[in-house]
């Protein structure tokens, strides 16, 4: 299906994206670029793991024209006056050394508080500090990342076959994540930890990424928003000019 024409862009007050993993072979920078070229927003939050420095250190630079075009699109937005806030994650953690600085019009911070048009306040953070695997053992986390990279490569070939059969894109990783009981329990525990952090911060909810599982729900009276990723699901979180929040499923929308 043809992407939405830039002449008729989707218009949002705020857009949150994370886990684009630019520099990783499995990154869907092509879909992300389509989305960026098809929407306008006043504020753009980059909620971590935008550049996959882990993967580039391990396998070398895998940087295509579409990856570069995504970065150029974001920088062009900042130059035009869009507020761009970058909250680094664990795969681009070296950028945390620049927290508190503004580079090329992009604000870099560890976490932020976003106020919606309707007055609700949301804590915005990547979320890896609440992942017990990452917290307890960097080595275990990196081994898990290698298994994930293998799964994404398998997903690439599955979708090459599906494309040849004129079938739509399908995420093997997301399918397995929903099928495996331990994965679902991990997601639930992660969400509980983030909601607790939001409650401690005295806000109305939170926006995070990290686990590649898009979600928009209310938990214990607080709003839990995970904007997903651009490796498996290709999703973003968007705020309308009235303050309404919604998940954008680009694969379905395009």
State the pTM of this model: 0.80
Query: What's the order of all strands across the beta sheet hosting 121-124?
Result: 112-115, 121-124, 205-208, 222-226, 215-219
151: its two tokens: 């799964």
Q: Which of 82-86, 112-116, 185-189 has the lowest mean pLDDT?
A: 185-189
Q: Is residue 2 situated within a structural domain?
A: no
- For residue 13, the model assigns a pLDDT of 99
Angle at 217 between CA 195 and CA 174, to 5 degrees: 95
74 within domain boundaries? yes
Give the Cα separation of 157 and 37 in Å (integer). 27
The boundaries of the domain holding residue 171 are 10-253
Number of domains in the chain: 1
| CB of 170 closer than 8 Å to CB of 178 | no
Tokens (6 digits) for 237: 């979180």
Q: Which of 24-33, 95-104, 155-164 has the lowest mean pLDDT?
A: 155-164
Residue of 62 and 241 predicted with greater confidence:
241
Q: What is the pLDDT of residue 138?
A: 45
Residue 5 lies in a domain: no
SS3 97: helix
Q: In the predicted model, what is the mean pLDDT of residues 206-231?
A: 95
Q: Please tell me the distance from the alpha carbon of residue 235 to that of residue 57, in angstroms, as a whole number.
A: 26
Does residue 3 lie within any of the structural domains?
A: no
Question: What average pLDDT is seen over the chain?
Answer: 84
pLDDT tens string 29-57 = 999 999 999 999 999 999 999 999 877 77
Can you tell me the mean pLDDT for 126-131?
89
Q: Which two tokens stand for residue 33?
A: 């670029």
Position 139 in a domain: yes
Cβ atoms within 10 Å of 188's Cβ, excluding its own: 11
CATH number at residue 161: 3.60.21.10
Contact in structure between 159 and 169 (CB atoms under 8 Å): yes
């Amino acid at each position: 299906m043809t992407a939405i024409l830039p002449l008729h862009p989707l218009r949002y007050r705020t857009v949150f994206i994370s886990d684009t993993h630019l520099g990783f072979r499995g990154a869907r920078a092509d879909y992300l670029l389509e989305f960026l070229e098809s929407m306008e927003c006043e504020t753009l939050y980059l909620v971590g793991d935008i550049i996959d420095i882990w993967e580039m250190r391990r396998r070398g630079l895998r940087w295509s024209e579409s990856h570069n075009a995504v970065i150029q699109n974001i920088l062009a937005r900042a130059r035009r006056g869009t507020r761009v806030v970058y909250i680094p994650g664990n795969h681009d953690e070296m950028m945390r050394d620049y927290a508190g600085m503004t580079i090329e019009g992009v604000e870099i911070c560890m976490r932020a508080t976003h106020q919606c048009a309707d007055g609700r306040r949301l804590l915005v953070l990547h979320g890896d500090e609440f992942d017990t695997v990452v917290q307890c053992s960097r080595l275990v986390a990196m081994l898990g990342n290698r298994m994930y990279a293998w799964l994404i490569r398998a997903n690439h070939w599955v979708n090459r076959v599906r494309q040849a059969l004129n079938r739509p894109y399908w995420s093997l990783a997301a399918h397995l994540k929903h099928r495996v009981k331990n994965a679902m329990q991990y997601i639930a525990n992660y969400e509980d930890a983030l909601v607790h952090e939001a409650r401690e911060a005295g806000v109305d909810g939170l926006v995070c990424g990290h686990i590649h599982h898009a979600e928009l729900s209310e938990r214990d009276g607080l709003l839990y928003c995970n904007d997903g990723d651009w490796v498996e699901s290709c999703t973003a979180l968007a705020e309308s000019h009235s303050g309404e929040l919604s998940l954008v499923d680009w694969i379905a929308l395009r």
